[in-house]
Amino acid sequence: MPRFFALQRTTAALCVVLLTSACGGGSDIAPNVVVEITAPSGDSPVFELQTPLSVEATVAVNTLTAPDDTPVHFSSSAGLFAPATASTRNGQAHSALWGTVPGPHTLRAEAEVAGVRTGNTKSFYLRHTPAPLEVLVPAYFYPSTGSGWTLLASSVAAHPGLKVTAILNPNNGIFSTADRRYVEAAGNFVHAGGQLLGYVHTSYGTGVRSLSDVQTNIDRYLELYGRDLISGIFLDEMSGQSSTLDFYRQVYHYIKAKDPSLRVVGNPGTIPATDMAGVSDALITFEGTAADFAHYDPRKKGGWLYTLSNNRQGTLLHSASSCTAMQTALRTAASTQTNSGLVYVTHRPYDYATNTGNPWASLPSYWTELLDSVQALNQGQPLPSC
């Protein structure tokens, strides 16, 4: 009796699930097939390329678990699945995605039961395998005796293997002679292992600064401070609008014609139009307070930044009042979602409402801890105590 009743219940369930005429009486009502993607979990998650990503879909028919061996087909422009078609067990089908294409993607899972084919989708992103973090310092302070430039050189020497790049900014980038103190400070920093970018502001490509003005500034860095010291140009006040693309393309090509190995870092300070990635080697996609940075999310602008490696995007943060706040910001920058490879954090404040404060007037009070923390993140070690 128990076996009979069990068999009877199983048969009845199959009749409900499959709704075939063989179950007695027949039916023209199509089954309700529901496919849900249960892995990867989360809302539009971010993963790394070349790392197997577990994928799971559940299939239900008329609210009941789908029969075993129901085929589920997985597809995406992100890469290849193994297997591309998986069979369910207890309503679940499993596969693995090997991602090869960075950027935004859609995962699709489809199942067919009793002639009814349906599916579901899930958005996700893939990023390049991250490079080590680099410290990018807006060194907008004069190299007087005992200034931050002395500490820059000594601290770089004390952190071999950590890439530290400083932005040289004499007289807001407009000068006709080389300042002896800057030459000496820059030389000490570069010889210690640092790299230098020359500061050039562009007034957001509005025409306030002409192409000729910008080109002259670039020439002065290379002629007066020399290619041995200057390894690239930092384009500040960079527009993020496609309408200014031609202006920045001309600037970019002008720099590369001088030396293709010169690095061009643009600073729109926000996520720009996708076109701007083609006229720079790296972009500062966030400049602002550490508190606001906690809400930064490349996915809000379509996630196109994930097509760029992390060493092509950066973050300049101010108003992080404590060492702990600095470390929190660094963790955020290094996270898979944020994917920011160039980083700088300072305690110094700036008030946007009143336009007061200069966050780049000195090194942060926790400068050594900043370097130690970046180095620890790069090595996968716990962050040092503040």
In the chain the domains, ranked by start, together with CATH numbers, are 15-127 (2.60.40.10), 134-379 (3.20.20.80)
Cβ-Cβ contacts under 8 Å for 368 (sequence gap 6 or more): 155
Cβ-Cβ contacts under 8 Å for 4 (sequence gap 6 or more): none
Evaluate if residue 260 carries a pLDDT over 80: yes
> How many residues are given for the chain?
386
Residue 9: the pLDDT is 33
Residue 146: the pLDDT is 85
Residue 39: the pLDDT is 98
pLDDT per residue as tens digits for the range 317-347: 999 999 999 999 999 999 999 999 999 999 9
Give the C-alpha separation, 301 to 234, whole Å. 24
Token couple for 383 = 């962050």
Percent of the chain with pLDDT over 70: 93
Looking at the DSSP bridge assignments, the partners of residue 326 are none
CB 175, CB 209: distance < 8 Å: no
Evaluate if residue 10 carries a pLDDT over 80: no
Least confident of 6-10, 92-96, 382-386: 6-10
78, 203, 315, 342 from 373: Cα distances, Å: 33, 34, 16, 14
Beta strand pairing status for 53-61 and 92-99?
Answer: antiparallel
Decide which of 178 and 16 is more confident.
178
pLDDT per residue as tens digits for the range 190-204: 999 999 999 999 999
Q: 165: closest CA among 188, 189, 143, 142?
A: 189
Give the C-alpha separation, 381 to 386, whole Å. 15
Q: For 139-148, what is the mean pLDDT?
A: 94
Instruction: Print burial letters for 330-350: b (CB count within 10 Å at least 16), e (below 16).
Output: bebbbeebbbbbbbbbbbbeb
